[in-house]
Amino acid sequence: MKNIWAPWRMDYILGKKPSHCIFCEMQQEDRDRENLILHRRENTYVIMNRYPYNNGHLMVLPYVHVSTLEGLEPELMKDIMEHTQYSVDCLREEFRPEGFNIGINLGKVAGAGIEEHLHMHIVPRWVGDISFMSVLDDIRVIPEHVLESYDRLHPLFNRHA
């Protein structure tokens, strides 16, 4: 799929991939807005997908660098699910989606773009969000820039900080 408003997606697809884990690197930096990190907890954090499938596409990640479910301690799996639930609540409040796709892509063949650091995808959905554009020309229309969505969601995620 192509994103009408995101021509830089081709830079990601065709560009040189870093030799290090970008999720591990960005979680240590003090640049949350630039890195699109919306919310932090003790063991997990929420980030906006820079190359979203839909408006408000989020990811929940553990701080620990792990690529499989077997590598997660039960308490960390619980934390990921709780942070996912919190993310869904915030998205419902701000964007009012009619549904969600939530899941983990394990391995490149399953669609993982960054397979070395496990992450949970949360994609808000609306009736008609897959329009004739997707069918006729493999194009997805995303109505809001990712930083505008970040600025709308950040206060919700952090109102109890």
Summarize pLDDT for 119-129 with one digit per residue, the tens.
999 999 988 77
* Each residue's pLDDT tens digit, 41-65: 999 999 999 888 888 999 999 999 9
Asked whether the whole model's pTM tops 0.75, one would answer yes
Domain boundaries, the chain: 2-14+22-157
**What amino acid positions are annotated as catalytic residues?**
119
End-to-end CA distance of the chain: 37
Residue 122, Cβ neighbours under 10 Å: how many? Answer: 23
Tell whether domain 2-14+22-157 is in CATH 3.40.190.80.
Answer: no
Cβ atoms of 59 and 122 within 8 Å: the answer is: yes
* Each residue's pLDDT tens digit, 87-140: 999 999 999 999 999 999 887 776 767 778 899 999 999 887 765 444 445 556
Spatial CB neighbours of 74, under 8 Å, sequence gap ≥ 6: none
